[in-house]
Amino acid sequence: MRISKVTLNRGWVWATGLGVIVYAALTLLDMQLKSLTGVSTADLEGLSSAVQFRLAFHAWAPEPYAARAGFLLGFAYLVMPLYALSFFFSGVIVAERFTPGKNRFRRWVLLAAMVAPVGALLDAGLKAVELAMLLDGADEGFARIAAGLSQAKTAAMIVGFALLIGALVARFEARKKKD
């Protein structure tokens, strides 16, 4: 399947722009939860034991906080396809700009672009495990799974951000050539 450069660039701008807006709203709401309870949903990604998860969930024990935390964990699912698309499109833009022709480096860049959708799937699994622990109680098995998913997702996000930076460089470089 082929995609035109105009469509690629338009999709990248929309996915990146909407991703930034939705992520900013999520971050603001999460900061509000942290100011009220001392624990944000983002803090869960650094936890690795059931005791740590239980303490975090205990901070959300009053019903309005638990509802807010659950909403934020669900709201995070809106960000996932946006950053997956943005990072994937970034990888294609980087490949088109910096790896002309068919060569091994181009294949590696395009393979790196596939890391973003995998990262979004890992993030979805992580949020599902966190929600399961919030509703049914934390245990060591789920805590280890969550810690592993979090580490793998973080690695995928680093690759995605590197591709996004590369795409930004490619876009600004293309603009300079037009001027």
Listed residue (133, 128, 121) closest to 58, CA to CA: 133
Per-residue confidence (pLDDT) for residue 5, from 0 to 100: 87
The contacts of residue 111 (CB under 8 Å, 6+ apart) are none
Amino acid at 138: A
Neighbours of 128 (CB within 10 A): 15
Per-residue confidence (pLDDT) for residue 179, from 0 to 100: 60
pLDDT tops 80 at residue 102 = yes
Question: Which of helix, strand or coil describes residue 149?
Answer: helix
C-beta separation of 17 from 85 below 8 A: no
Q: What is the mean pLDDT of residues 19-35?
A: 96
